[in-house]
């Protein structure tokens, strides 16, 4: 292996680990590969990356088994236009999920939650596009906080949603490719010192 290739989903920021990796492995570059949301399994299956930083859930068994180490949770936020009633809540206030039951959800939520009212037939879209639509006032989008920050817009705002589970960010890699280098990178992202054992 002449480099360790790590793919990362939008909103996940692996740069902090690159410096630590460089200190531990000065002769083995860490190549960071940005990918689209939902593309993590594909880049591993196609051998375009050795490991991936992505949001769960992901199929850990098919087409091949994956190791997964959960790193942290991301709070769900609702993204709305600046003149939406949600924007009147303080930035630290949480919006109860039940209060969004009458809204148009522009992007299906991974949990399966949907508002009680009949929904418009929005076309499939990326998170960035969903935030643009929410900013227009047509509906709302519920996304991980890091995604709302990544695609921040002056005509939109976001508030934390109470009542939805957080999104989990994990480091995943094929079980059959596990190696001491993979385990070293796990140690880096988990904050273990170079001298510590697993």
* Residues 123, 130: Cα–Cα separation, whole Å: 10
Judge whether 26 lies within some domain: yes
Return d(Cα 188, Cα 192) in angstroms, integer.
6
Q: Do 143 and 89 belong to one domain? A: yes
- Is residue 64's pLDDT more than 90? no
Same domain (yes/no): 95, 44:
no
* Predicted local distance difference test score (pLDDT) of residue 79: 98
Q: What are the angstrom distances between the C-alpha of 5 and each of 25, 29, 98, 167? A: 14, 9, 42, 24
Peptide bond into 104 cis (omega under 30): no
- The reply to whether 59 and 132 lie within a common domain is no
CATH number at residue 12: 3.40.190.10
**Is pLDDT at 94 greater than 80 in this prediction?**
yes
pLDDT in tens, 108-167: 998 999 999 999 999 999 999 999 999 999 999 999 999 999 999 999 999 999 999 999
The stretch 84-112 carries a mean pLDDT of: 95
What does the alpha-carbon distance between residue 23 and residue 18 come to, in Å, rounded to a whole number?
9
Q: Name the residue range of residue 30's domain.
A: 4-73+167-190
β-strands 94-96, 156-162 pairing = parallel
Global pTM reads: 0.85
């Amino acid at each position: 292996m002449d480099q360790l290739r790590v793919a990362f989903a939008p909103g996940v920021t692996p740069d902090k680990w690159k410096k630590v990796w460089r200190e531990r492995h000065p002769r083995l570059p860490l190549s960071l590969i940005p990918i689209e949301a939902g593309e993590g399994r594909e880049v591993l299956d196609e051998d375009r990356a050795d490991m991936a930083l992505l949001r769960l859930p992901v199929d850990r068994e098919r087409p091949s088994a994956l190791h997964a180490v959960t790193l942290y949770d991301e709070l769900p936020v609702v993204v709305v236009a600046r003149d939406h009633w949600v924007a009147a809540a303080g930035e630290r206030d949480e919006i109860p999920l039940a209060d969004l039951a009458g809204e148009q959800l522009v992007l299906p939520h991974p949990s399966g939650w949907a508002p009680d009212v009949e929904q418009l037939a929005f076309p499939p879209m990326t998170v960035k596009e969903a935030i643009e639509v929410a900013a227009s006032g047509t509906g709302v989008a519920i996304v991980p906080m890091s995604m709302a920050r990544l695609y921040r817009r002056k005509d939109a705002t976001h508030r934390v949603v109470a009542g939805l589970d957080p999104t989990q960010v994990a480091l995943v890699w094929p079980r059959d490719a596990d190696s001491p280098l993979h385990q070293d990178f796990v140690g880096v992202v988990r904050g273990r010192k170079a001298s510590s054992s697993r």
